[in-house]
Amino acid sequence: MDNEFHTGFVSIVGRPNAGKSTLLNQIIGQKISIMSDKPQTTRNKIQGVWTKDNVQAVFIDTPGIHKPKHALGEYMVKAATSALAHMDLILYVVDVSLPWGTGEEYIVELLKQSDTPVFFIANKIDLVHPDQLMVFLNELHEKHQFAEWIPISAAERNNLEILEELIISYLPEGPKYYPDDTITDQPERFITAELIREKVLQLTREEIPHSIAVVVEQMQERPDGMLYVDAIIYVERDSQKGIIIGKRGELLKEVGKLARADIQTLLGSKVYLDLWVKVKKGWRKDIELLRNFGYDSRER
């Protein structure tokens, strides 16, 4: 590897639940993008900054590209596809434990419209037999052209060092955009809201994960050094509110406990987290509410 400093912008794209957020968090070395086993977890473009001796890469983690069913879905897909422009490198993450389908073909067609080098990231190799993986990759290699093919397991960190070295080799020489200790340009309120939403995703199922939004109303440091966080979890129906609160408030308490631990780790200070649950009927279809909740397609 040369001694020149490399810098650039790297977009991470793929289908929902392909492991994009896990990959970003593993490279950065800290959780900045929330993870769950539910598809369509990431709703905004998350910007993470990776700085080493001779590189600073600015990563854009995008929502999974899928067929939208409502205004929120349309926003998410627009956010993802807009991240293909003005990049130095694109990482196309594919879950190799799942069959290749029309959704992947749609993404490949989008990528063909870009002049940016694309890495095919074959993720979750720990879930498939090596022979099955080779057949999968050989069949695709005959159909599609990519700058590099890298089999990895983001969760297990398999081959991540190889991927990181390849990323550095493709980035142009240039200056640093951020100080060395910067890991994200997202506001503290946004990351805090996402960590709360992650815990709801982990503790609920069926329609609940897709029906929630989290808004941090207040973040204020008190004289004793404690950071006070006041946040609202919005749902679409009264029945969902009851589920999230839980019997005797137990589920909401568990959300608060888990989220508070992550927020304290990220911000480095003691946190008092005050959570509320409110109903906003049909918010995913309401353009004005989407903007109020931070999903504003006019910025894309």
> Do the Cβ atoms of 271 and 224 come closer than 8 Å?
no
CATH of the domain at 41: 3.40.50.300
Say if residue 285 is in the same domain as residue 198. Answer: yes
The answer to the question of residue 153 being in a domain is yes
Q: Which helix (H) or strand (E) holds 221?
A: strand 213-221
Q: Give me the domain span that covers residue 280.
A: 188-299
Say if residue 138 is in the same domain as residue 12. Answer: yes
Say if residue 109 is in the same domain as residue 153. Answer: yes
Q: What is the pLDDT along the chain (300 residues), one digit of tens a residue?
A: 456 899 999 989 888 888 988 999 899 887 776 655 544 444 456 678 899 888 999 998 776 554 545 455 554 556 555 556 678 999 999 999 999 988 888 888 888 888 899 999 999 999 999 999 999 999 888 888 899 999 999 999 999 999 999 999 999 998 888 888 888 877 788 888 888 988 888 888 766 767 788 888 998 888 888 999 999 999 888 988 999 999 999 999 999 999 999 888 877 889 999 999 999 888 777 777 777 766 654 443
Say if residue 141 is in the same domain as residue 205. Answer: no
Domain count, the chain: 2
The tokens for 4 are 């020149």
The pLDDT value recorded for residue 77 is 52
Say if residue 157 is in the same domain as residue 271. Answer: no
Phi, psi of 217 (to 5 degrees): -80, -35
Residue 225: how many other CB atoms lie within 10 Å: 8
The tokens for 259 are 């989220």
Q: Which of 107, 138, 170 is the last residue of a domain?
A: 170
User: d(Cα 31, Cα 272) in Å, to the nearest integer?
Assistant: 20
pTM attached to this predicted model: 0.68
| Residue 281 burial (C-beta neighbours within 10 Å; 0-12, 13-18, 19+) | exposed
Say if residue 165 is in the same domain as residue 198. Answer: no
Q: How far is CA 114 from CA 84, 107, 178, 212, 284, in A?
A: 7, 11, 27, 34, 30
User: d(Cα 21, Cα 32) in Å, to the nearest integer?
Assistant: 8
The pLDDT value recorded for residue 148 is 96
The pLDDT value recorded for residue 17 is 83
Does residue 259 sit in helix, strand or coil?
helix
The answer to the question of residue 179 being in a domain is no
Residues 6+ apart with CB under 8 A from 154: 19, 22, 23, 26, 93, 123, 124, 160
The pLDDT value recorded for residue 21 is 86
The answer to the question of residue 67 being in a domain is yes
The answer to the question of residue 10 being in a domain is yes
CATH of the domain at 235: 3.30.300.20
Is the backbone of residue 58 left (phi > 0), alpha (psi -120 to 50) or beta? beta
The pLDDT value recorded for residue 45 is 62
Say if residue 146 is in the same domain as residue 197. Answer: no
The pLDDT value recorded for residue 89 is 94
Residue 141: how many other CB atoms lie within 10 Å: 12
CA 137 to chain centre: 25
Say if residue 274 is in the same domain as residue 232. Answer: yes
The tokens for 57 are 């890469």
User: d(Cα 232, Cα 78) in Å, to the nearest integer?
Assistant: 26
Say if residue 37 is in the same domain as residue 154. Answer: yes
Say if residue 46 is in the same domain as residue 157. Answer: yes
Closest of 132, 105, 9 to residue 62, by C-alpha? 9
Say if residue 139 is in the same domain as residue 19. Answer: yes
